[in-house]
Amino acid sequence: MGGTAVGTGLNIPENFSNIAIREVRAITGQDFVIAGNPFEATQAAEAILGASASLRSIAVSLIKITNDLRLLSSGPRTGIGEINLPAVQPGSSIMPGKVNPVMAEMLNMACFQIIGNDSAIMMAAQGGQFELNVFTPLLAYDLLNSIEILTGAATSFTERCLRGITVNRDRCEELSKQSLALVTILATRIGYEEAAKIAHIAHDGGKTIIETVKDMRIMDEKDAEELLDPLKMTGVKQ
């Protein structure tokens, strides 16, 4: 602020920088300060680049979260179906009765746009030459656009989806009991090779791990049920 073309501060009114930064603080309510090195700040865009990279990182994490929620809510009969996402609009235009995960998809698209903005900011930041970066308008526009998009999308997703998620407890219990991965804990008792055999026997016989363990009388039924309890294995308090 007040560095003019290359950071020298030539040709600005007296005390312009201090007056300008005071007004910016009053408008935003934020404690902005003048750059310590106006030469570096005029030609480089590291601050904007870093802020955009942080927004991109948040966007990537949110994409992962929303994709997980979409998969966990898939169904209700031929998918995972462990959770229910709130229905915010009437079904699907193609399949009657279908509930689309529209809020998760909305957040995904918003995050895709933020990643695109970050790519544009990266190109604009490296495009500056010598003492001046002429691409500052794009840097500012895309950064502010990303902030606005992420704020709105995350807030809307929280209010219209996240807070309304419910758990299908029976379905979760059903899938956990059917999981062959439960055999992992047996390796601590009977070894990897024997545990692998049990997994194959359970799979081939269409039975659960605990049913197979009981059938083979590998251990006492009470010990088997306690050892193969999914909640205890994951450290979840009942």
CA distance 186 to 224: 9
Burial class (CB in 10 A: 0-12, 13-18, 19+), 123: exposed
Helix, strand or coil, per DSSP, at residue 167 = strand
**C-alpha 61: how far from its chain's center?**
3
CA distance 146 to 221: 57
Token readout for 156 is: 């809307």
Helix, strand or coil, per DSSP, at residue 161 = coil
Catalytic residue among 61, 92, 119, 179: 92
Whether residue 45 contacts residue 128, with contact meaning beta carbons closer than 8 Å, is answered with yes
Active site residue 92: yes
Helix, strand or coil, per DSSP, at residue 132 = strand
Whether residue 46 contacts residue 134, with contact meaning beta carbons closer than 8 Å, is answered with no
Helix, strand or coil, per DSSP, at residue 44 = coil
Helix, strand or coil, per DSSP, at residue 21 = helix
Cα Rg, the chain, nearest whole Å: 28
Annotated catalytic residues are: 92
